[in-house]
Amino acid sequence: MPRFICVTCGTQFAESAEEPANCPICLDERQYVGLDGQQWITLPELQHKHRNKRHSEEPDLTSFSTDPHFAIGQRAFLIESPGGNILWDCISLIDDETADFVRSRGGISRIAMSHPHYYTTMLEWSERFDNPPILLHEADRQWVMRHDNRIRFWSGDTLSLHDGLTLIRCGGHFEGGTVLHWPAAANGRGALLTGDILQVTPDRKWVSFMYSYPNYIPLNAAQVRHIARAVEGLRFVRIYGAFPKVTIAEDGPAVVRRSEARYLRAITDAPG
């Protein structure tokens, strides 16, 4: 039986003879049902109509995005590390060309996710690479649409992986919203991979924070402060955002501090 994928958010559902009645992720106020109504596609159809582009972001970091644009349009990242490669976030399309490239770089030892909008076809990715575990924060358990024992829920505020790589629960956009600290990036100066928990803005000078991006619902001051404190003190200069080309190359901590202050001024009309 097919595993249907929501065209609007890219989430894959468990096998079913018929299309699901709806997509709970899109019914949530942080997302939306497509302007043409609920629509579905399967992975073979997606593979026929689309292809993945890859881009070398820096040594040991490759991003993948789908062309033409599909669903939310985020990028996934392959981090190459001595203790095992990490796939950070997922995109819906996994095809032979992408899989061959990833295998040529040593495969994947773990998959880690920022939040439910990017769960997409995470189990298909795992199946392609000898079933590495998929690390999701337990606070977002309800948003898993296809359950499997390869999914490992973690708890608390941090999870150490290997080679200094660390998952950090920031909350905000989702209760389990997570960023990845990669200290070896940028020639040892460090990077954060943030999905849209800290959203890199198109001018690449700021980050921002939202509860719902498509429906323009801001976060409150307490949540914004919590996110900023969660990454305070980490060693990093770069911030890799959710979408192609939105990367802050330098001064990451300063960017977070001034972005926090600007956001708080905007929502409270008071000093940050």
Q: Which residues pair with 217 in a beta bridge?
A: 212
The two structure tokens encoding residue 80: 């190459």
Q: Indicate if the pLDDT at residue 272 is higher than 90.
A: no
- Helices 252-268 and 221-231, axial angle in degrees (round to 10): 170
Distance of CA 114 to the CA centre of its chain: 4
Contact 128, 47 (CB under 8 A): no
- Per-residue confidence (pLDDT) for residue 270, from 0 to 100: 59
d(CA 101, CA 95): 10
Per-residue pLDDT reduced to its tens digit, 117-134: 999 999 999 999 999 999
d(CA 85, CA 88): 10
The residue to which tokens 């959710």 are assigned:
242
d(CA 52, CA 63): 10
Q: Indicate if the pLDDT at residue 271 is higher than 60.
A: no
d(CA 173, CA 224): 10
The two structure tokens encoding residue 82: 């001595």
The domain made up of 5-268 is a member of CATH 1.20.1440.20: no
Mean pLDDT (the chain, rounded): 97
Indicate the domain borders of the chain.
5-268
Per-residue pLDDT reduced to its tens digit, 143-181: 999 999 999 999 999 999 999 999 999 999 999 999 999
In this prediction the pTM is 0.96
Q: Which residues pair with 4 in a beta bridge?
A: none
- Per-residue confidence (pLDDT) for residue 111, from 0 to 100: 98
Over its C-alpha atoms, the chain yields an Rg (Å, rounded) of: 18
- Per-residue confidence (pLDDT) for residue 178, from 0 to 100: 98
**Mean pLDDT across 252-264:** 98
- Per-residue confidence (pLDDT) for residue 149, from 0 to 100: 97
The two structure tokens encoding residue 72: 């939310």
The residue to which tokens 């890799």 are assigned:
240
Dmax (CA) of the chain: 56
Per-residue pLDDT reduced to its tens digit, 215-226: 999 999 999 999
The two structure tokens encoding residue 108: 């994947």
d(CA 47, CA 69): 13
Phi-psi region of 39 (alpha: psi -120 to 50; beta: other; left: phi over 0): beta
Bond from prior residue into 68 cis (ω within 30 degrees of 0): yes
H or E stretch at 189: none
DSSP of 27-48: HSTTS---TT---EE-HHHHHH
